[in-house]
Structure 1
Amino acid sequence: MAKRMQRAAGIVATLVALAGCTDAGAEDAKSSASTPTSTASGVVPTPSAEGTSDGAAATLVGNWAASGLEPMVLHVTGLRAEMMGQHHCRGRVTRQDGVQIVRLKCDDGSTDRAVGRVYGLTASTMTIDWEGFGADSMRRVT
């Protein structure tokens, strides 16, 4: 319980710090990353080289923050993922056709960020394109 409280306090501090940030850097990171292409079946990501190697799964592990209209933190440990911000969601990270997929289920029933494809993954930035919602550019935080 104490560890969970400490982690929550750290995440809240990160969210407060991000609330004052602008999204200018996130747009630059998103535009430099590979972009998804539309097909009749939906959005198909075109991952960068960093997002396609088998070693990329380890790169996704850690804490990631987005500072858009809804500041949030995505915490990835192994194959588990937890998103905290306006919604609290938990789920798993899987690999499908060489692309990492984040699947979340939110405590309040929100489905905005239920399934997302990771692309443009580097050591410090990534973008998650959420099905039917849009994309979040994220930066690694400690």
Structure 2
Amino acid sequence: MRDESGLSLVELLIMVLTIGILTSSGYVTFSQGNISLRAKAEQFAQDIRYAQTLAMNRGASYQVNVNGSSYTITTSADTAGLLSQATLSGVTIGGTYPIVFNGLGQPTNAGVKTLTTGNQTISINVRAESGSVVVP
């Protein structure tokens, strides 16, 4: 009589395949969360660029005001003149100071805005020397 303790080749292959599927599905779930934060960072950066474009086209100062997970674009001369408003649900935007562009599209207070959700963070850089808005 044969001792049948141990795994057959078929059982071993099924086990390896199951572990591979479970591992890859966890990786996809984690990656999609990071993609979602990146997409929100790109949206925010695009809206900052929009405020800069408005400032250059109209020759007036425009600013992006941040409050928690939402932000607004207004003219600097009249903060009641709301042009655009957006909320990035599930994301906290760090730094409460406004991003202000003068009539030439130059930022008067360049810096970094940090978007955070859970343990993921992405920074948006507004560069003083060029006025470029970069999501690394």
TM range (shorter): under 0.3
Greater helix proportion: 2
Higher relative contact order (CA 8 A, sep 6+): 1
- Larger Rg over CA atoms: 2
Greater strand proportion: 1
